[in-house]
Structure formats: structure tokens, C-alpha cells
A = this chain, B = another copy of it.
Amino acid sequence: MATLRDVAIAAGVSPATASRALSAPDSVSTARRHRVIEAAERLGYQPNRSAQALASGQSGHVGLVLPDLANPSFAAIAKGVQAQARGSRHSVLVADTDEDPRAELAIVRDLQANVDGLVLCSPRMPEEQIRECAAAGPLVLVNREVDGLPSVTFDSASGVTQALQHLRALGHRHIAYIGGPTSSWSDAHRRRALGSVDGIEVTDVGSHRPIHQGGVAAADLALETGATAFLCYNDLIALGVMFRLRARGVRVPDDVSVVGFDDIGAASYVSPLLTTVAIPLTRAGHEATTMLERLRLDGWDGHAVRLPVELLVRESTRPVPTPA
């Protein structure tokens, strides 16, 4: 493997000049720069990132911590981070915490010691711990807000309001909210908006695991409330709910309407197509990474980014059935 020294010798310059020619082209005369670049290509030179990192104090890596790579929502965020990081010549070190909050802190610490910045997607880590991490290095939160820390979140309160208004316009007056994990920031955030629309009563059906199975379990509870429409913490739950409703012979949307959150791919594969609040996850990955870079260069400007969400009305909601 060719080193910078080899390139320098081949180009007939000193290692210092070779280094500059490749990383600060303007500070080298045109002729030498070309010689160096040509030599580098000829030798197939690939810079040793570890050496660069050690010498410059910049690892060239961005860390990404998330609960579950296989969850389509987090995967979408990862994709966004990845794309944006490559744009700024950074690689992404990804760590899946496997929904294990205990391992999380150790993972974050280890990662943080070896990256230029961290994108942290941890719905459940205690605020205090997050603050601790933020003190240890540049950090941007995704889908979670902590006072005084940079974050990219979604205006899901508005999403809840949009969904509620949509349902009210369809004549629904009693709605069941099928929540996600209590410890999750975004669930708390959404719950707060539950009372934002007049003329609608919302019954809270409690906390459920944010996966298909969680929805299956929640469906019966929601049905018991007598609500004519169900608002779900996320699409996976909504899909689980619809699955169970079908099994019980309850028709969607004829008998009850269902609204999800996230707009994962499957929402447009199922029948009926799921009405859901679309969340720009990939864009959040972009924004977070961009923010991280600014953070490192200029420090934080105190602004948190809150991305707009949009209700996508599809087939799983319709006017409340008129009593026979």
C-alpha cells in the first residue's frame, strides 16, 4: 500500500508538500500539485484515515446511534445521515443498540471518543444521560428534544391536530389513541396535542410496543372504547390494529377509521391504503448531519430544527357510519 511518502518521492517533492497538494491544493504551485496528484493516482494512493485522524485530531467519521436498524423508520434516518455525510467526506459509523437502553450509554461513549460528531436517535435514554453525552462532544438529537441541545424533530403535534381535524370533519366525535412506549419522547409529545381539537373526545388506550404485534394486542382494547376512529402511535401499530380488526370481522374503514404515523412503505402496500401522517425521516437524517457539521465549525446557534409533517389521506379513514 502506497503511503504519502511514496507519493512524495515519486513526485520529487517533500512529504509536506505532497500532503498539502492533496488536502490544501491552493497552497501549492500548480506544477507541483499536478505532479503530486498524478503520482498519487499512478500509485493508487489511498490516504490512511487513521493516520490523518491521529495527526489532525479529526476522525473523518460521523457516529450514528439508533435503536434498531431493521426498523424501517430508523433505516430511513440512517439513509439520510449516510448520504449527507458522504457529501462532506465523512464515513458513518453506525451502532444499533438493539433497543437495549443499558448497553446504549457504553456504546455512545465508545463511539463518541472516536468520531467527529454523533447523531443520536434514542427515544428513551434519560435526559440527564443525554446531557452528559452532549458535554463529551458534538451531538445532534433526532426525533427528540432536550432543552439546550441541538435537535431535529418533527412537528408531530401538528400531525396529531391534522389527523384529529380530518377525523372530526368526517364526523368522528370519539377517538381512541393507541400510544407507543411511555418512555418515548415523541409519544409524550403527541399525547400533549390530543386535546388540541374541540368537539372531539379522545380516549387513551395506553402504551404499546411500537411494532406490528403491539397493534394486534391494542386493537381489542381500542374497540372496547366504542371509538369510531383509532389514531395510532406509528404505522406498524396501525397495521397490527388493522390486521386484528380484520380477523375480528371489523371492517376498515367501513366500521372504524384508522390513522397511522410515519408513512412507512408498507402503508401503501396494504389494503385499505393507510391514512397516515408522513414524517420526513430521511430528510431528518440530512438535517441532523448538516447541523452537526455547522455545530463543529461555528458552534450551536441555539436553533432546533422542527420539520413539518403532512397528513396523507388515503383509504383507511371515511365518514363515521350513521347508526342504522
Contact = CB atoms under 8 A, between A and B. Distances in A.
Interface of A: 1, 46-51, 53-54, 59, 61, 68-70, 72, 75-76, 78-79, 82-83, 86, 91-96, 98, 109-111, 113-114, 212, 239-240, 243, 246, 265-266, 268-271, 282
Contacts of A269: 212, 239-240, 243, 266, 269-270
A46 B63 CA distance: 16
Contact of A243 (B72, B109, B271): B271
29 contacts: A46-B109, A46-B110, A48-B114, A49-B50, A50-B53, A51-B54, A54-B54, A61-B93, A69-B82, A70-B72, A70-B75, A72-B72, A79-B96, A82-B94, A83-B96, A83-B98, A92-B93, A92-B95, A94-B94, A212-B268, A239-B269, A243-B269, A265-B266, A266-B270, A269-B269, A269-B270, A270-B270, A270-B271, A271-B271
A93 B93 contact: yes
A100 to B, nearest CB: 11
Contacts of A268: 212
A107 to B, nearest CB: 8
A50 B270 contact: no
Nearest to A92: B94
A306 B96 CA distance: 26
A157 B83 CA distance: 35
B91 A1 contact: no
A145 B75 CA distance: 26
Contacts of A91: 93, 95, 111, 114
Given A49-B50, A79-B96, 17 more contacts: A1-B113, A46-B110, A46-B113, A49-B113, A50-B114, A69-B75, A70-B79, A83-B96, A91-B93, A92-B94, A93-B93, A94-B94, A212-B268, A266-B270, A269-B270, A270-B271, A271-B271
Contacts of A79: 68-70, 96
A50 B54 contact: yes
The 8 A-B residue pairs with the shortest CB-CB distance in the complex, in nearest-first order: A46-B113, A50-B53, A266-B266, A75-B75, A49-B114, A69-B79, A239-B269, A50-B54
Nearest to A215: B269
Contacts of A114: 46, 48-50, 91
B246 A70 contact: no
Contacts of A240: 269
A111 B60 CA distance: 12
Nearest to A1: B113
